[in-house]
Structures are given as structure tokens and as C-alpha cells.
A and B are shown apart, each in its own frame.
Chain A
């Protein structure tokens, strides 16, 4: 559950600071997403965080990283045609 409203500004800025530190400490997308999830979970409640990137070669959106509070198994690398993905809409 999202809990941003119930957090103080200090906690939110603290989470953003942790996020900035986490981003600078990773050099791979999986690590970046893990760091993002850990930072945000201090102020935002969620179970899954996924990163889908545009693959220009096939003009599709491909799931690159999936972070969860519980172990997850990604069976393959799911893709979506760009016109079926929000990034292709906006």
C-alpha cells in the first residue's frame, strides 16, 4: 500500500537521498532496480517493481528487471508490442 501521505517530509527526502546514493553505487540494471526498490519501500508500499525498456530492434517493450519482496521466477523475457505498452502511448 502506498504510504507517502503519512510520511513526514524528512522521511521522504531521506528516501530520495538513499535512492540517489543507491543509484550511484550500481552499474547494472538489476542492481539499480533493487536499490530503487529498497529506497522507495521506506515510504511507498509495493511488492513488485519492474523495469520495461524499449527495444528499438524489434520495436517492442522488454522486461529487463523485476524486483519483489518475495522470490520470483521470470520464465522468459516478456515483451510487448510498443502500441500495447504505456510507454508507447504517452
Chain B
């Protein structure tokens, strides 16, 4: 139904008002009709679309469209407020993590403690089971895992923490390969 909904939104062929549109054609597979869709706008900014669907064809009256237009305009403010709140909460969490990591950087003396603290803080915004600090041993051309921190009970598939360059899972990123090539 979700896909049909999105596909049907392409089938708009008339607008009754500036902010209210009608869908005339139905989704043939799901036999759905999308009689109208109200644009959610805050001033000049378009937030999205609120669409109504039915399984039978009908011709909405002007009063009905006007009513739903009013509802859409009120709902737009709510949705915008919700999205704004989400953005602010994300930014708050990001700044809090940065603050805590900065605190760890100046208060943790050992590499192990520092790495654990950073991994712990990062897990609040980037979910992960474990974090590893892998350093390149140039003389032996190997990558060695120097620190491991688990944020869950997950276990690594094997206990070999030394990999020849080119065989480490950490190297699968293009950035790392490029950095190794450039020394």
C-alpha cells in the first residue's frame, strides 16, 4: 500500500487551490483512489504532503476540500514543530557527546581508558557492538589492534588481532587503503 500511495501521488492532474490537490487516477494494482492531498506548508517552506486514500471513486465537495485544507494547515505546524524538536534533540545529543569526549580527552591518561570512554560516548549516537583502534606497524607491514572496547556482549569471530596489510577487515574502506599507499 505504501508503494501504491507513493506511485499514486504522481497522478495528480489538477489543483483546486494553491495548497490542495486532487488525485483522479487510482493505483490499478491495489485499486486505491487518492481523492485529495493537502500540501503541508509553513509560509513559503514546504514540509510535505498529507494524503487521503479510499477504495472508491467520488467527487469531493468544495466544503470538504476547504475543511481538509484547514486541517492540513494546522497539521503542518504540528509536523514542523515535531521535526524541529527532533533536529534540536539530535543537535543536543551531538553536542553532549562532543562535550563528554572532550572531558575524556583531558581527564583520561591511559590510552585504554581514553579509548573506552570515547567508544562509550560514541555508542550513544552511533550504535556499535565494539570499537577497535588499529595501528599500522610499518616495519612488519601489519595492522595491529591496540585497543578493543565492547559496548555489548558481542564477541569477535576470531581472536587474531594482527593482520598483514591487505587482509584486515579494517582496510576495506577506500580511505584507509589510500592512506597506506601514500605512507
Contact = CB atoms under 8 A, between A and B. Distances in A.
Interface of A: 1-2, 4-5, 12, 16, 19-20, 23, 27-29, 32, 36, 40, 43-54, 61, 63-64, 66, 68, 72-80, 84-90
Interface stretch (B71-79, B117-125, B145-153, B165-173): B71-79
Q: 10 tightest A-B contacts by CB? A: A48-B53, A74-B2, A78-B6, A53-B48, A72-B1, A4-B64, A2-B64, A46-B52, A86-B21, A52-B49
A54 B6 CA distance: 13
A1 B64 CA distance: 11
Contacts of B94: none
Contacts, number: 149
B58 A2 contact: yes
Contacts of B5: 48, 50, 63, 66, 78
Interface residues of B, number: 45
A16 to B, nearest CB: 8
Contacts of A47: 32, 53-55
